[in-house]
Structure 1
Amino acid sequence: MDTFILGIDQSTAGTKALIVDRCGQIVAKSDAVHKQIYPKPGWVEHDPLEIYENVKRTVREALTLAGITPARLAALSITNQRETAVMWDRTTGRPVCHAIVWQCQRTADLCADYKAAGHEQAVRSKTGLMLDPYFSATKWGWMLEHVENAKPLLQEGKLLAGTIDSWLVWKLTGGRVHATDYTNASRTSLFNIHTLGWDNELCQLFGVPRELLPEIKSSDEVFGLTEDPDLFPEKVPVSGVIGDSQAALFGQLCLEPGMAKATYGTGTSVLLNIGDKPAVSENGLVAAVAWGRGGRVTYALEAIIRCSGDSIKWVRDNLGLFGSFDELDAMLRQTPDNEGVYLVPAFVGLGAPYWDPYARAAITGMNRATGKAHIVRAAVESIAYQVRDAAEMMERETGVRLKQLHADGGASANPVLMQFQADMLNLPVVKSEIAELSAMGSVYMAGLGVGYWPSLDEIEQLSKQVQLYEPMMEAAERERLYTGWKQAVASILSDKINRDLI
């Protein structure tokens, strides 16, 4: 009897469940969105219980659509939004508060205090990360200080902390397994990329007791078995646990140093495989574990772009400038020039290479002739400009010119954006036709972990359709547009960042 792998993709916007066969084909999928909670300006939260309910719902729907029972699942994989922080009561399984999302800026002042106290270099040298509210440590520290029942639960030994992957593993295994993988651990500011473990000094600095944190495993390990008899009457191995951006890097088969990809989601992650040795950037990039597999760890450099697809959502939902994506495509094709209009989407500050949590969004260059199509185009173009910022930093850091950029994620479905991206980079952009590439990366990892696919060679032989975008823009036009972008960014930066990175 044929068996399948169930892939769970828990992203910032929602949850997907995919059923994948041995040929690497998606035979069924289901998705559900969850609420975005904004209790104060700059704060972003999710409800972990709503997320888990959506996991159960999408799994049931995907199994039904595929016409199979859990008995035919060889493994369950998890890929997830990273850095988003959860704390919960291990005795009740209930979170102590909403999850604090990676976008949330509530700890910006706390991070500034840590910098003023001289801790930035120590944090960066151990973790490869900036001292920034983006990462998990200050979020957990905030919960312990501000959530009413967090400290009492800590004193009673009932409190656990983790990222979304840990939360889902714990729930799916019936509270028997509290674990994360190297990729997610490396996004917390508590993980030492050199020793590959939780760092006691960092835990003490951020006020997060080590005993709250999950065990760290390789992405391809079997984390445990499902223990939810209603959802899985037959137990299923949980493997292939990996953060979403790293999962996309693996799904793109960027397996050699020097290969890079961009995942265009709510934000955009540009990841560069750098091999088996970590690197700490001084140019606005962050270090990451790309994956742990077969007892070995692969590292990456990453540029984190806080807002990309979210800026398109903003001009649609908040400004009402277009309705459907067909309308968006038509507007972009009918307005081939931005006419000097730029949108800098610093709705929750700016990420790489500026790392300015105090920057705020702006639309610049408007005049009396500016119409809604120019603003929409500016929102789309802002994504490509930010990816060029990232690519230039990567080339400066490594001294190696990128040969091409692999692309995936929701916004990569827009052909105008992909062509503009190739033009801005003056590089070929290889866009995967698999929309669910993060999920597929985790599925591949799980399949290797449980022996569903015997080797990477077999995965490389699976059919993968791509679309190639070649640069077409004249150099003078490319540089004119990009110079305008840099000027727009400079106009909105706060006075608290290093302007040498502009």
Structure 2
Amino acid sequence: MGSSQSKNSTTPTPPGAPVRRSIYRKPSTNSPKITAKIVVNSAPSSNTPATPVKAKSTAPAEKKRGTFTAAIDQGTTSSRFIIFDGTGTPKATHQVEFEQLYPHSGWIEHDPFELLKSVNTCVERAAEQFVGDGYCLEDIKAIGITNQRETTVVWDTVTGQPLYNAIVWADTRTSRLVHELRKKEGSKKLRALCGLPMSTYPSSVKLLWMLRHVPAVAAAHKAGRLSFGTVDTWLIYNLSGGAEKGRYVTDPSNASRTMFCNIETLEYDEYLLDWFGVKGVNLPQIVPSSDPEAYGVIAEGALKGTRIAGCLGDQSAALVGQCAFNPGMAKNTYGTGCFLLYNTGEKPVISDNGLLTTVGYAFKGHKPVYALEGSVAVAGSAVKFLRDNLGIIKHSHEVGELASKVPDSGGVVFVTAFSGLFAPYWIDDAMGTIFGMSQYTTKEHIARATIEAVCFQTRAILDAMEKDSGTTLNALAVDGGMSNSDVCMQIQADILGLEIDRPKMRETTALGAAIAAGFAVGVWRDLNELKGINREDRATFWPKSSEQSREQIYANWEKAVERSKGWLDNDRIDDDKE
């Protein structure tokens, strides 16, 4: 997919005029330099639902009453809104996919207004369905928000208008910048302060790139009008009133992904802000992940006046949704990327083995809970690559069916390093490479190798977690798109040699946000009340492979990782497109 093609006027915005939309077209190959040219479109106002829908009066005379919570789940490729009952069962849902923008190789962007529009549409449609099924909107006690983390949005503090497209978490345009920053004096202090290694992953380097390369962003910073936020902040700001009265906040699970937040105090750290040179940028207030007042209320639409009472980054939300509240519990989410979180309790553990230290959740009135995290940049997006780029499959769910037709990958190893390799490797100069192909290789082998790539990286993360924690896991709770495939989960069990535990209802990310919101308003008052949530009809996958075969294929994976290094030369290639 390429960059967005507007059907409206492409006349540049006059100086000083309010920006209606921040879509950057793909520059010509002869002139890759980034400018502040903006395409003006008829985007929705920042605090008005894109497509308000009045609920049809088709409900039965007698209403179905109850207590419900809801969640906005704003992900990398789609947004959804789900309304849950008190048992964690979805009662209404709507999902909208939005366009991925790829101006250059390795660049991934989203239109901030498109994210907002997709969320508003999901809320309105799900509300219509909920009422149509005989329920009452006033019984929705609170809304939680969960979001793609690290994805960075900047806007004008006065007008509330975006100054550039959102730079997505998996974007690698900052690889050269990261290479530079690693050599900067004081870089070795960062991890102990914020829990994160220097990489293309966190929000800090994305903001720094925009300050260097987007004139409108630099000008707003100089004028004291530059607002920074991750997607949660952008959504809450707009849903609660926008430039006029919107709340400008974030929660610790998202703030801990920026490199600006001290992992111990959960406040912005002066040393970190100085080191990155972002003093003067407006930063959202850090408030608890579950709070009845901090996030405000929905300003417009079918759920106008409903409290926003919870906020969690998507992987933290999945940890809560899996009810992994005790130290030593872990979950793995197979989405666009793959993210394994391990609950370490009330004290942060700084990894010695390439993992991230992050905030699991921080409910108001409770001590924050921390986690070790291993992040795989490419999981479901590798399946999309087979579908959209290579045409090996027509639908994503077919990858498991194709892989099941062969007993193994036939010696093929696919290192899916489209965004480099994340934890525990942190190799920025790796690129996607396929090893071991021969005339015997078929598309079935490549499909299986694609699944195995995710599972091998999960194994590498678990090995690192065992070293950091001194504890060996006996089972792994899973969720996310790829977990829907029995074939994928059996391959994962075989590669890990562990029991895989999959819930029947796998919208655990949204459920976690709904739980955070429900806690804030008293739907649940104690974590023990959640032990029965989403526990019925869980599937278990047991390993069938021998230890010898597991170790042999994993050794091949490690060899392939070593050989995938160095394809991107950060000393020679100008990844910043200056």
- State the TM-score, normalizing by the size of structure 1: 0.96
Tell me the secondary structure at the aligned position of residue 192 of structure 1. coil
Structure-to-structure mapping, 1:49-88, within 5 angstroms? 49-67=113-131, 68=135, 70-88=137-155
Tell me the secondary structure at the aligned position of residue 487 of structure 2. helix
2:469 to 398, 401, 406: 398
Aligned to 1:6: 70
2:335 to 254, 261, 265: 265
> 1: CA distance between counterparts of 2:270 and 2:445?
51
Contact 1:265 1:409 in 2 (8 A): yes
1:27 to 56, 74, 91: 91
Aligned to 1:490: 562
1:184 to 246, 254, 257: 254
Contact 2:208 2:276 in 1 (8 A): yes
**Structure 1 356/437 Cα, relative in aligned 2: closer, same or farther at 3 Å?**
same
> 2: CA distance between counterparts of 1:50 and 1:276?
37
Greater CA drift, 69-78 or 363-372: 69-78
Aligned to 2:522: 451
Contact 2:430 2:568 in 1 (8 A): no
Deviations 1:409-440 (A, max 9, x none): 11111111111111111111111222211000
Tell me the secondary structure at the aligned position of residue 78 of structure 1. strand
Aligned to 1:500: none
Note the C-alpha offset of 1:326. 5.3
Note the C-alpha offset of 1:118. 3.5
Aligned to 2:212: 145
> 2: CA distance between counterparts of 1:325 and 1:126?
40
Contact 1:220 1:449 in 2 (8 A): yes
Alignment pair present for 1:244 and 2:314: yes
Q: Which amino acid aligns with 1:282?
A: D
Contact 1:120 1:130 in 2 (8 A): no
Aligned to 2:268: 198
Note the C-alpha offset of 1:227. 4.6
Q: Which amino acid aligns with 2:111?
A: D
Contact 1:87 1:160 in 2 (8 A): yes
Greater per-residue helix proportion: 1
Note the C-alpha offset of 1:388. 0.2
Aligned to 1:317: 388
- Number of residue pairs matched? 496
Note the C-alpha offset of 1:457. 2.0
Contact 2:87 2:532 in 1 (8 A): no
Q: Which amino acid aligns with 1:61?
A: R
**Structure 1 406/230 Cα, relative in aligned 2: closer, same or farther at 3 Å?**
closer
> 2: CA distance between counterparts of 1:342 and 1:418?
18
Q: What's the RMSD between the two structures over aligned residues?
A: 1.7
Note the C-alpha offset of 1:325. 4.5
Alignment pair present for 1:39 and 2:103: yes
> 2: CA distance between counterparts of 1:472 and 1:311?
25
Note the C-alpha offset of 1:495. 8.8
Q: Which amino acid aligns with 1:273?
A: N
Greater CA drift, 429-438 or 338-347: 429-438
Aligned to 2:43: none
Q: Which amino acid aligns with 2:392?
A: L
> 1: CA distance between counterparts of 2:321 and 2:510?
8
Note the C-alpha offset of 1:70. 4.2
Contact 2:430 2:567 in 1 (8 A): no
Aligned to 2:199: 132
2:440 to 353, 369, 374: 369
> 1: CA distance between counterparts of 2:295 and 2:409?
52
Aligned to 2:482: 411
Tell me the secondary structure at the aligned position of residue 95 of structure 1. coil
**Structure 1 59/72 Cα, relative in aligned 2: closer, same or farther at 3 Å?**
same
Aligned to 1:389: 460
Contact 1:89 1:158 in 2 (8 A): yes
Greater CA drift, 453-462 or 93-102: 453-462
> 1: CA distance between counterparts of 2:380 and 2:433?
16
Greater CA drift, 451-460 or 410-419: 451-460
Alignment pair present for 1:118 and 2:190: no
Alignment pair present for 1:435 and 2:506: yes
- State the TM-score, normalizing by the size of structure 2: 0.83
Contact 1:430 1:468 in 2 (8 A): yes
Tell me the secondary structure at the aligned position of residue 253 of structure 2. helix
Greater CA drift, 324-333 or 485-494: 324-333
Tell me the secondary structure at the aligned position of residue 82 of structure 2. strand
**Structure 1 320/86 Cα, relative in aligned 2: closer, same or farther at 3 Å?**
same
Contact 2:221 2:280 in 1 (8 A): no
Aligned to 2:28: none
Greater CA drift, 208-217 or 64-73: 64-73
Alignment pair present for 1:163 and 2:205: no
Uncovered stretches (5+) of structure 1, i.e. residues with no partner = 498-502
> 1: CA distance between counterparts of 2:163 and 2:137?
31
Aligned to 1:481: 553
> 1: CA distance between counterparts of 2:368 and 2:504?
28
Q: Which amino acid aligns with 2:265?
A: T
Greater CA drift, 66-75 or 357-366: 66-75
Tell me the secondary structure at the aligned position of residue 233 of structure 2. helix
